[in-house]
Chain A
Amino acid sequence: MAEFVEADNAEAIIARIETKSRKIESLLKQYKHVEALKTALEGSPPKTRDERCKSANWIVVHRALMAIKDIDGMLNALDAEYYDILMKYLYRGLSTGDRPTCDQCLKIHEKLTERAGLGCILRCLTDTINTV
């Protein structure tokens, strides 16, 4: 069942992600970093096992993450429901091994753990269905 849905929706999801990335570019130009990150995290494709959708979404989120300079302000403005998804993307960023990405992700990781606690990390570790 799930595979059926994916095959049809993969193209649709990728198209959605492209429109999202254009919106995020415009938001970043207006220096609305928090809005950009929220938009990037919102449409995270759930339950897709298609690697292309996940990579496409990761590229978009990565763009938004690297543009952020004020981490405390960003976390203040972000709602609690986005913490889990953000943590998953942080771990994906940490696994890339690219120096600036890792620096940024490590900074955000520390602050996010202070806010969201160890439960957030544990939910990332245990969630094998909605992987990023």
Chain B
Amino acid sequence: MANSLRLYLACIKNTLEAAMCLQNFPCQEVERHNKPEVELKTSPELLLNPVLICRNEAEKCLIETSINSLRISLKVKQADELENILTKKFLRFLSMRAEAFQVLRRKPVQGYDISFLITNYHCEEMQKQKLIDFIIQFMEARYRERNKGLEGISEHKRKTRCYRVPETVHVKQQLSKDIAKVKDDQEWEIIETRKALSRTGPVDAYKPKNTSIEEELKVS
């Protein structure tokens, strides 16, 4: 099992090293615009073949490259419902703070759990090798944490000899996570509304009264 993980990560690393050849390329269609071509996919000559690397039925990694950007989408295996929920919460937590990560994409690509978007600007500011190492270490850390978490749960199962108990043990953690989530959601909403306000201004600030001329004349 460990060997197949090592091979999977080695394959992804080699593919990323080959695929991360990015250069600045201003948009061809619109003047003075510079867009990541892999997201828009407007011109086929700027895109390379997308590569899908599967480790098994549940885990895969999609690497799409273009001339100035590279998108990596990962799908991790989730063994049961509990893991599904935990993974979703964790990855959502990360995605909301995508600005701090710089290379993380706010929404994962359809069908995947998490996506990275690396542009030529990232390659200019940061070292290419370190970017690749970051992504590989991210995946390794995920697997290690998952295995540790599973070990903890199965350890507990053995001690109490009851399958239901892990659920109750996790309810408290779940509750505190829910509270944190609600707080995060509210924070996020506040930030987004503030941003929206700065773009458009308060929406119902100006409400002109729809009165016709006759009414005005009647009043006077």
* A125–B11 CB distance below 8 A: no
* A125–B54 CB distance below 8 A: no
Q: When chains A and B are docked, how far (Å) is the Cα of A119 from the Cα of B17?
A: 10
B interface vs A, CB < 8 Å? 4, 7-8, 10-11, 14-15, 17-19, 21, 44, 48-49, 51-57, 60, 65
Q: Render A91-112 as a binary contact track against B, CB cut-off 8 A, 1 for contact.
A: 1001111110011001101100
Residues from chain A with Cβ under 8 Å of B19 in the complex:
121-122, 125
Q: Render A115-126 as a binary contact track against B, CB cut-off 8 A, 1 for contact.
A: 000110110111
Q: When chains A and B are docked, how far (Å) is the Cα of A2 from the Cα of B15?
A: 31
Name the CB-closest residue of B to A103: B4
Q: When chains A and B are docked, how far (Å) is the Cα of A106 from the Cα of B7?
A: 6
* A122–B18 CB distance below 8 A: yes
* A109–B11 CB distance below 8 A: yes
Residues from chain A with Cβ under 8 Å of B4 in the complex:
103, 106
* B56–A102 CB distance below 8 A: yes
* B15–A110 CB distance below 8 A: no
Chain A interface size, under 10 / 10 to 19 / 20 to 34 / 35 or more: 20 to 34
* B7–A107 CB distance below 8 A: yes
* A125–B57 CB distance below 8 A: no
Residues from chain A with Cβ under 8 Å of B49 in the complex:
124-128, 131
Query: A102-B56, A110-B7 provided; 15 other pairs, C-beta below 8 A?
Result: A94-B52, A95-B51, A96-B54, A97-B57, A97-B60, A98-B57, A99-B56, A102-B54, A102-B55, A106-B4, A110-B10, A118-B17, A118-B18, A125-B19, A127-B49
A-B contact pairs, 22 of them (CB 8 A): A91-B52, A91-B53, A94-B53, A94-B54, A95-B53, A97-B57, A97-B60, A98-B57, A99-B56, A102-B56, A103-B7, A106-B7, A109-B14, A110-B10, A118-B17, A122-B18, A122-B21, A125-B18, A125-B65, A127-B49, A128-B44, A131-B49
The number of residue pairs between A and B whose CB atoms lie closer than 8 Å in the complex comes to 66
Of the candidates B14, B44, B56, the one whose C-beta lies within 8 Å of that of A113 is B14
* A126–B14 CB distance below 8 A: no
* A94–B11 CB distance below 8 A: yes
Of the candidates A91, A106, A107, A131, the one whose C-beta lies within 8 Å of that of B55 is A106
Residues from chain B with Cβ under 8 Å of A94 in the complex:
11, 51-54
Q: Across chains A and B, which 3 residue pairs bring their CB atoms closest together, nearest first? A: A121-B18, A95-B52, A97-B54
Residues from chain A with Cβ under 8 Å of B44 in the complex:
128
Name the CB-closest residue of A to B60: A97
* A95–B14 CB distance below 8 A: no
Closest CB in chain B relative to A38 CB, distance in Å: 24
* B11–A95 CB distance below 8 A: no
